[in-house]
Chain A
Amino acid sequence: MIAEFGHFALVLAFVVSLVQMVVPMVGAHRRDAQLIGVANPAALLQFLLVAFAFSALLYLFVVSDFSVKLVFDNSHSEKPMIFKVSGVWGNHEGSMVLWVLILALFGALVALFGKNLPDTLRARVLAVQASIAVAFLLFILLTSNPFLRLDPAPFEGSGLNPILQDRALAFHPPWLYAGYVGFSMTFSFAIAALIEGKVDAAWARWVRPWTLAAWLSLTIGIAMGSWWAYYTLGWGGFWFWDPVENASLMPWIAGTALLHSAIVAEKRGALKSWTILLAILAFSLSLLGTFLVRSGVLTSVHAFAVDPDRGVFILGILVVFVGGSLALYAWRAPLLKTGGIFAPISREGALLMNNLLLSAAVASVFIGTLYPLLLDGLTGAKITVGPPFFNYTFVPIFVPLLCLVPLGPLLGWKRADVKAAAERLIAAAALAFIACLVTFAFAYDGPWLAPFGMALAVWLVVGAASEIAWRIRLFTTPLRESLYRARRLPRAAWGTSLAHGGLGIAVAGIVGVTAWQSELITTLAPGESAEIAGYTLTLERVGMRDGPNYEATVGVVRVEEAGRMIGTLTPEKRRFPAERQEKTEPAIRTNGFADLYVVLGEPSDDGKWVVRAYYNILAPWIWIGGGIMSLGGIMSLADRRLRVGAPTRARLRAAPAE
């Protein structure tokens, strides 16, 4: 019965969201307090119903009820509990329920904490949010019902794809969806503002934390996904410019742009209509990502199983929401008053530059991802746009942006003295120059761009530190005074610096792996050795090991450096009998600066084993940098000026240290 209750809850949630879409919108138009009052309880009820449906699905997975088709298809009684749970969203239907759950949760949060929003604005935001829920609940009910029964019920499930049975991957989709769906909130605010015909500071103050939260979730989700791809796929790479990766990267870049333009909209009242356009674009790109992943139109290593009906349905949703919102924008945006004049060289100017470059970057990824589709549709020619395309387009657009990053926060609002700002960056420039020379001296035979990449990384990290140093007047006042200032500095300022510094560390990691990765492919019989990057790898033996729901062939590889043993690595090949698949499990040894990465391949007929090894310089820094960026996001989100509940109070406080 649980499955039927779950299904029924989804149907009820659909009906409730229909009401929530229509009634408050009419109420806001007529200024009818009673109709407006429907919005809050409807949003809460919708959340409770979807939460019930999700819990029902979770329960069915936990108790392994194989009479439900989805559980049968994606679970197995011998699977460890954590993967029974993650199996809920490790498939198309369940992940859509999670998607809608997060959507409803965000709506409920606005209902609960939005008391200080103007009534009509809140009603309209919740109505727009409900319209998204209507579309996706209908999608679930019509094309992807997770509660379908099987009759007769099988005794055992067919298991979860082994590649998905991984701890980092288990919790990567929820972050990603929180990010995608988070942009639905800024989208709802943008549409509501267009309908209202005004964008004020209170609006911008509400949009910023939502953008920040969505950006933060997406950053964590992308970093986890790329880390997973790195340690599990056995290719030694961290980013493949795969369409599905691009699908998550596009909303991230648009969200980064939105994050920065929302600052201008809040602090200076300028760039309002641009901010609204970006909010629409960020969510449109999230929808596009959902479409690309689920429709199977693109070749990808990550895509869900293909079903043309679903693709057409999501394409319909995409067309209605993107087309509708852009039409509304074209009609209503001219009504928005522009304000806040500024000179080209100013904080606003720098943020605008950031937005222009980020938009160009999004456009290049967009074209690279969708051009093959277009060409296929027009001419039938099948092409792949791979890393070289993005190296020629994305990288040259992104590098100037990275060069400008440390400068932006040092410029004043309205009109800035670029010379004074540059003086504060002398240390960063000097250290970047030294980094360039040092890298060149050590790696003169590597790619000639690498030293510049390292200089850029140092420029970003030291530049971010210089900003804090300047704000707390380090070395220009007594240390006590500086410490006092550091304590008083708003958390958002720390957040900015952390995010920019983390970006620099990630850049160093990306440059390191791209420029100096060493690769070794060889065959070794037990007892034989091979060399990579100064390490001697000896295949000691190959044995078998039993896992909870797999059996593994384990290679024991001794690692020696200059004749001294420093450890053993145990790469595995796991064989999952339930799923009848196998999975390569690389072994990685890291010292924080470089990874030694070993993959055990196939045995050959002469008793040797294929062994593939990589030495990835600075690889861990990619994810350390991503982690620091996320930490910066958390710091900013914790800033009391941005706290969701406190926008009015913030207004009264004098903004310190701006």
Chain B
Amino acid sequence: MTRKQRRATFIFVSLGILGIAAGLVLYALSDSVTFFYSPSDVAERGVEPGERIRLGGLVEMGSLQKLGDANVRFNVTDFVETISVTHRGVLPDLFREGQGVVAEGAIQQDGTFTADKVLAKHDENYMPPEVADALKRTGNWQGEGAEASHAETYGQGSYP
């Protein structure tokens, strides 16, 4: 094998791997990303029932209900629109009424949302950036004031 052929082999193999990797990435990006919606976005733009999305906002005060058999229902709101969310499982430790939350799942035919994953952050002062942005857009962002409300809601929420 000459030097030229060797170099050609390496370039060919490198480009091949690069091409396959790029193809995989493009395919995956078109197929497996999840869009984030606030309740207002859902109302404005509409989401196909069954399409997998992330729904983010605040957990409406006083909306948490335990339905039995590990099912819970709560409302996610951005103070303009509100969507009822059901979830089966254990809620994360930092899930609180009045706090930011991200629910992953799909809208059902009846307009409610079924979440198979519920995310809250491991930091009491935290608001998921998407939620913060959504609240800013609807004019309900209270900045760091959101922290203060935490103290008040504490204990009323989901404590045993």
Does B18 interact with chain A (Cβ within 8 Å)? yes
Identify which of A39-47, A380-388, A621-629, A641-649 touches chain B.
A380-388
A367 to B128, CA, bound (A): 21
- Provide the residues of chain A in CB contact with B31, threshold 8 Å: 388, 392
Question: A-facing mask of B116-160, CB < 8 A → 1, else 0?
Answer: 000101111110111001000000000000000001001000111
Residue in A163, A357, A392, A575 whose CB lies within 8 Å of B122:
A163
A-B pair number, CB within 8 angstroms: 147
Cross-chain contact A583 with B93 (CB below 8 angstroms): yes
Cross-chain contact A302 with B28 (CB below 8 angstroms): no
Chain B residue nearest to A301 (CB atoms) is: B122
Cross-chain contact A393 with B21 (CB below 8 angstroms): yes
A610 to B92, CA, bound (A): 13
- Provide the residues of chain B in CB contact with A163, threshold 8 Å: 93, 122
Nearest CB of chain A from residue B12's CB, rounded to whole Å = 10
A601-B90, A602-B90 known; A356-B13 Cβ under 8 A: yes
Chain B residue nearest to A609 (CB atoms) is: B160
Chain A residue nearest to B66 (CB atoms) is: A604
How big is the A interface, by class?
35 or more
Nearest CB of chain B from residue A168's CB, rounded to whole Å = 15
What DSSP secondary structure best describes chain B's contact surface?
Answer: mixed
A343 to B5, CA, bound (A): 10
Residue in B14, B27, B88, B104 whose CB lies within 8 Å of A392:
B27
Residue in A161, A392, A521, A583 whose CB lies within 8 Å of B32:
A392
A22 to B153, CA, bound (A): 55
Cross-chain contact B17 with A356 (CB below 8 angstroms): yes
A85 to B98, CA, bound (A): 33
Chain B residue nearest to A544 (CB atoms) is: B160
- Provide the residues of chain B in CB contact with A462, threshold 8 Å: none
Cross-chain contact A305 with B6 (CB below 8 angstroms): no
Cross-chain contact B6 with A299 (CB below 8 angstroms): no
Nearest CB of chain A from residue B69's CB, rounded to whole Å = 5
Question: B-facing mask of A584-618, CB < 8 A → 1, else 0?
Answer: 10000000000000010111111010101000000
Cross-chain contact B122 with A302 (CB below 8 angstroms): yes
Chain B residue nearest to A300 (CB atoms) is: B121
Cross-chain contact A343 with B70 (CB below 8 angstroms): no
Does A522 interact with chain B (Cβ within 8 Å)? yes
Cross-chain contact A606 with B9 (CB below 8 angstroms): no
Cross-chain contact B32 with A364 (CB below 8 angstroms): no
Cross-chain contact B124 with A581 (CB below 8 angstroms): yes
Does A360 interact with chain B (Cβ within 8 Å)? yes
Q: List residues of B (1-48) whose CB comes within 8 Å of A's CBs.
A: 1, 3, 6, 9-10, 13-14, 17-18, 20-21, 24-25, 27-29, 31-36
- Provide the residues of chain B in CB contact with A381, threshold 8 Å: 35
A364 to B21, CA, bound (A): 7
Given contacts A302-B122, A386-B33, 9 further A-B contacts (CB under 8 A): A299-B129, A363-B21, A384-B36, A388-B32, A575-B159, A584-B93, A602-B90, A605-B66, A612-B89
Cross-chain contact A599 with B154 (CB below 8 angstroms): no
Question: B-facing mask of A136-179, CB < 8 A → 1, else 0?
Answer: 00000000000000000000000001010000000000000000
Does A509 interact with chain B (Cβ within 8 Å)? no
Question: B-facing mask of A571-583, CB < 8 A → 1, else 0?
Answer: 0010100011111
- Provide the residues of chain B in CB contact with A599, threshold 8 Å: 90
Q: When A and B form their complex, which 4 residue pairs have the shortest distance between CB atoms, in order from nearest?
A: A388-B32, A382-B36, A601-B90, A392-B28
Chain A residue nearest to B151 (CB atoms) is: A580
Does B61 interact with chain A (Cβ within 8 Å)? no
Nearest CB of chain B from residue A575's CB, rounded to whole Å = 8
A352 to B14, CA, bound (A): 10
- Provide the residues of chain A in CB contact with B129, threshold 8 Å: 296-299, 306
Cross-chain contact B130 with A299 (CB below 8 angstroms): yes
Chain A residue nearest to B127 (CB atoms) is: A306
Residue in B13, B32, B69 whose CB lies within 8 Å of A523:
B69
Residue in B18, B20, B54 whose CB lies within 8 Å of A384:
B54
A601 to B6, CA, bound (A): 62
Residue in A299, A582, A610 whose CB lies within 8 Å of B70:
A610
- Provide the residues of chain B in CB contact with A299, threshold 8 Å: 102, 128-130
A341 to B1, CA, bound (A): 12
A357-B17, A383-B33, A384-B34 known; A301-B121 Cβ under 8 A: yes
